[in-house]
Structure 1
Amino acid sequence: MILITGASGNYGKATIDFLLKKGFTAQSISALVRDEEKVEDLKAKGINVRIGDYDNYEGLVEAFKGVEKLLLVSSSDIEKREKQQENVVNAAKVAGVKHILYTSFERKNDTETSPIYSIAKSHIKTEELIKESGLTYTIFRNNLYLDLLPMFFGEDVLTTGIFLPAGNSKSAYVLRNDMCEATANVLTSKGHDNKVYSLSNTESVSLQEIAHELSEIVGKDINYVSPPQDIYVETLTKAGVPAQYIGMFAGIAEAIKQEEFSAETTDLEDLLGRKPTTGKAFLKEVYASK
């Protein structure tokens, strides 16, 4: 039995879909959710739905009974994530889970000097807990999603251009669906015990290069401006963007600038058996008709 946590979210649902496409029966897959009403589509496919909350340790122990492989899709609650994921790891051990897989994230700096340490620290701690648990593990260090670029750019990017203080450094942005497909491949094959995979693209690109590619796709010049951090924060504040989002965007932009997400690895390509989706292909799909 394979159990996918966070199954009402994009990553969990997509991974389940890839498992089904690979021929896994719905009866051999369980989905952990907090709200059963959010996964009527999974229930219709015959997926076993189990109710559980990362905050409820006892409930997790019950939900994990009979599970051989457990995919821990990281919690979206940054403030509570470390404790929540500690609950998952401990519950998995008590429930007799044999193999835990975890969606962590790509980075180079594990210290408090990292511009995204507030986001990183819970991932780092969870990786440590998993390795110390005695459970067989596989850790996926997922790079920045291509899917997030439109959010970073804003709705008016084709008019105003790209405005982000990320410098000219390159990142190995990757499509979420490619990571989900690779995750499903690992869940359904052998040879991944106690491995850490970097799920990064085989190409790294700068935002200047992305702006150039976007210009070609839409047929007009799209500028990229990398302002100083204080100017960026001031501009977004005046535009009414909530402070928590400004802090997150600014931190990620600085991490890009410091090359936290650059990568030279073929892990994702090897797990997929093909080249990952390129940034240009993603941009064309999103912006070609606009």
Structure 2
Amino acid sequence: MILVTGATGQLGMAVLQTLLANTPATQLAALVRDERKAAALQAQGVSIRVGDYGDPAALDRAMQGIEQVLLISGGGEEDALQGHYNVVDAAKRAGVQCLAYTSRALKDPKTLVNQLMVRHFDTEAYIEASGLPHILFRNILYMDVLPLFTGPNVLETGINLPAGQGKVTFALRSDMGEAIAKVLLERDFSTRTYHFTGSEAYSFDDVAAALTKAAGKEVTYMPVEAATFAAGMRQRGVPEVAIERTVGFITDIKHGQESEVSPDLATVLGRQPTSLVEGVKQLYKL
């Protein structure tokens, strides 16, 4: 039986969509905070386990009868790292045969500006130390975040970011979810690492060109200074912590942290991941 944590989140749902299409729902369980949000999964026959990463007793109950656990990272929450540790500990107590974790494909964790990303590698180290057979999915930045970076009026304003000529091997969340599910369905409990990236690294000039092609209207990219970008966010009332994280994220892109190219995603999918132009059409509804 496979337990997917964070099951009602976007990546969790993408993973479960492929799992449900390829294995009986009776072989699947979902860890959720709010049972009401999992009503559709429950209706399909998925076993719903209620709890969160901060509740070890609930995690112990959720692990009963589970062979594989997919730990989907807890995002930007302050206690996310301890929550990850709690899931690993519960999996070990329950005798789970394999723990999978959604980490990040970043070139050099030691030189990251966005320190929030470091917790992924702290989690990896904790999993290694646990002795559990494990699978690490080091995922590149989701292509799905592009509209957040460019803003809703990008066709009028163009792209203005402090990313320089940094490149990202963007991949759609849906492609990653499909690939993660396919790996889990292999029931191979050997320890290994996948680097799930797109097949090509793209600069924001490339993103602008893709938008131009998809929209039939010229879109330009203008690199700006980080301080100017931060001041604009501040003017819009964005909280300081969000400004710091966003600028750190984009600075890491500028420094090439998100530019790794790996064939792993294409290999597992059995096809090339969605291209930038096709992804932009979907994401911006063009």
TM-score, L = length of structure 2:
0.97
Question: 1:16/1:237 Cα in 2 relative to 1: closer, same or farther (>3 Å)?
Answer: same
Q: Does 1:231 align with 2:224?
A: no
Task: Give the match for residue 62 of structure 1.
Answer: 61
Give percent identity, aligned residues only: 38
How far the C-alpha of 1:240 sits from its partner, in A, is 2.5
Q: Which amino acid aligns with 2:130?
A: S
Query: Does the CA contact (< 8 Å) of 1:55 and 1:87 recur in 2?
Result: yes
Q: Does 1:253 align with 2:262?
A: no
Question: Partners of 1:53 and 1:284 in 2: how far apart?
Answer: 35
Question: 1:211/1:90 Cα in 2 relative to 1: closer, same or farther (>3 Å)?
Answer: same
Task: Give the match for residue 92 of structure 2.
Answer: 93
Query: Does the CA contact (< 8 Å) of 1:217 and 1:287 recur in 2?
Result: no
Task: Give the match for residue 116 of structure 1.
Answer: 114
Provide the aligned C-alpha RMSD in A. 1.3
Q: Does 1:241 align with 2:249?
A: no
Question: Partners of 2:258 and 2:176 in 1: how far apart?
Answer: 15
Query: Does the CA contact (< 8 Å) of 1:64 and 1:95 recur in 2?
Result: yes
Question: Partners of 2:17 and 2:210 in 1: how far apart?
Answer: 31
1:70 aligned counterpart, secondary structure: strand
Task: Give the match for residue 11 of structure 1.
Answer: 11
Query: Does the CA contact (< 8 Å) of 1:186 and 1:192 recur in 2?
Result: no
How far the C-alpha of 1:190 sits from its partner, in A, is 4.7
Question: Partners of 2:47 and 2:283 in 1: how far apart?
Answer: 34
How far the C-alpha of 1:191 sits from its partner, in A, is 4.7
Task: Give the match for residue 137 of structure 1.
Answer: 134
How far the C-alpha of 1:156 sits from its partner, in A, is 1.1
Task: Give the match for residue 163 of structure 1.
Answer: 160
Question: Partners of 1:107 and 1:275 in 2: how far apart?
Answer: 21
Aligned mate of 2:190, from 159, 168, 193: 193
1:196-215, CA deviations, whole angstroms, 9 ceiling, x for partnerless residues? 11110111110011101211
1:102-158, CA deviations, whole angstroms, 9 ceiling, x for partnerless residues? 0011112222x41112x1221111101111111110000110000000011111111
1:248-276, CA deviations, whole angstroms, 9 ceiling, x for partnerless residues? 22111101100001112101111111100
Question: 1:26/1:191 Cα in 2 relative to 1: closer, same or farther (>3 Å)?
Answer: closer
Q: Which amino acid aligns with 2:112?
A: S
Question: Partners of 2:58 and 2:285 in 1: how far apart?
Answer: 46
Question: Partners of 2:284 and 2:52 in 1: how far apart?
Answer: 37
TM-score, L = length of structure 1:
0.95
Question: Partners of 2:230 and 2:25 in 1: how far apart?
Answer: 47
Q: Which amino acid aligns with 2:4?
A: I
What is the count of residue pairs matched by the alignment?
Answer: 286
For structure 2, the 5+ residue unaligned runs are none
For structure 1, the 5+ residue unaligned runs are none
Q: Which amino acid aligns with 1:206?
A: S
